[in-house]
Amino acid sequence: MNHILVTGGNGQLASCLKDASKYLEGYKFIFTDLEELDITKLEDVDSFFKSNDIIYCINCAAYTAVDKAESEKEIAKKINELGPRNLADACNKYKAKLIQISTDFVFAGDQSNLYTEEHSTHPVNFYGVSKLNGEKAVASLEAHIIIRTAWLYSEYGHNFLKTMLRLGKEKEILSVVCDQIGSPTYAGDLAMTIVKMITTQFDEYGVYHYSNEGIASWYDFAKAIFDETKTNVKLCPINSKAYPTPAQRPAFSVMDKSKIKNALNIEIPYWRDSLRECLIKL
């Protein structure tokens, strides 16, 4: 049996991969979280690969608390950098392919053009630094695919969508930043793209960008959520300076998806269409 290891098994992307895995015949998925596999311990990773005949590893495990990463740098570094390095070492040893999930936060966000895979990286917070170092650790493996995604949400886990739905019931007035621009991404769409990579035995290795089509600010995203759910709340756009956080965010991190669309011959849904799909599932 061909085994596909998915780390970070309780997260939202891994949960969407569980749903998508029904479209994959001839493969057995193994979903692990910290209790089953600590990717920061090389011996544990090596033993797990040796015992389970892994042919693919999809690394969804990540430290994603952007603000806390500024004060918990060692923890973020272990999970986002050391973990991927250990997985890459095991994949190299046991001849497995590695799909590493990364982020738009590897970019500075100081330009107005779409970011391609060839653009220079320059993170403005430690979370971005740790994820970029994770990319570099994985790049030493020949059979690797790095997928940078952005503003991930789903019907699972904790995310902006679910926070807005909760606050929309609790508050009459909400303020949301309007000067950070990106692309909301439904994790279910990304999961199906990863499944297609596996079913087609995709071997054009390297870095790819994936997010839903279109651009939005966090204010736009929140407005769409409340419009779609007919939530009666007064939404106020504010500048990032009015809502200071420990970690700086990229002002503009919209990515060009041409490379992955051409390589896989896929169309990527518009972000509001995918938002409606997710809300139906919720």
Residue of 56, 63, 115, 127 marked catalytic: 127
Residue 203's CB is within 10 A of a number of other CB atoms, namely 10
Q: How far is CA 205 from the centre of its chain?
A: 18
- Residue 127 designated active-site: yes
- Joined together, the tokens standing for residue 9 give 């098994």
Q: Are 84 and 134 in contact (CB under 8 A)?
A: yes
Distance CA 260, CA 210 (A): 7
Active-site residues, by number, are 127
